Amino acid sequence: MIERMFEDTLWIYTAIGGSLIGAAFLAYFKDTRAGLWCYAKLDQFLDYLVEKYGLTWFEQPTDAWRKKYPYVTKKIDELEARIAAMEAPVKKCECGHDCHCGDECQECVNDVCTECKCEDSRGQSADI
C-alpha cells in the first residue's frame, strides 16, 4: 500500500522539481545575449499575431512601464506637476502687476499698491 501511494504521487514531486529547475534556468538565461535575442523574437512573433489575427490579449498596455518601474513613474509625475505649476497662467492684479500666487496682493486689496509682494510658484519674490 505504501508503494502504491509513492507511485501515485511521484508525478507531483517531478513537476515541482522541474518547475524549480526551469525557473532557475530562465532567471539565468534572460540576461544573456541569446536570451535577449529569444525574448525579442518572441515579442516580434506576438506582435505579428496581434496584427494578423487581432489577438488583443497578446497586446501589452501602453502604460505597462508605469507598473514595472514605480519609482521612475513617481518621479516623472512629480516633475510633470512641477512643470505644470511653473507654466500656470499668471494672474494680473488690478494695478497691472503679475501675481504668481493666484490672489491679489494685500497691497492691491488695500488700494495702496506699490508693487506685488507675493511669492511665485518657484519660491522667489515676484517683485517688479
Q: What is the pLDDT of residue 126?
A: 46
The rounded radius of gyration (Å) of the Cα atoms in the chain is: 31
d(CA 74, CA 66): 9
Q: Would you say the pTM of this structure is higher than 0.75? A: no
Q: What is the pLDDT of residue 87?
A: 83
Q: What is the pLDDT of residue 58?
A: 80
Q: Which residue has the higher pLDDT, 110 or 9?
A: 9
98 and 90 Cβ atoms separated by less than 8 Å: yes
Q: What is the pLDDT of residue 12?
A: 85
pLDDT, one tens digit per residue, over 26-81 is 999 999 999 999 999 999 998 899 899 988 888 878 888 888 899 999 999 999 99
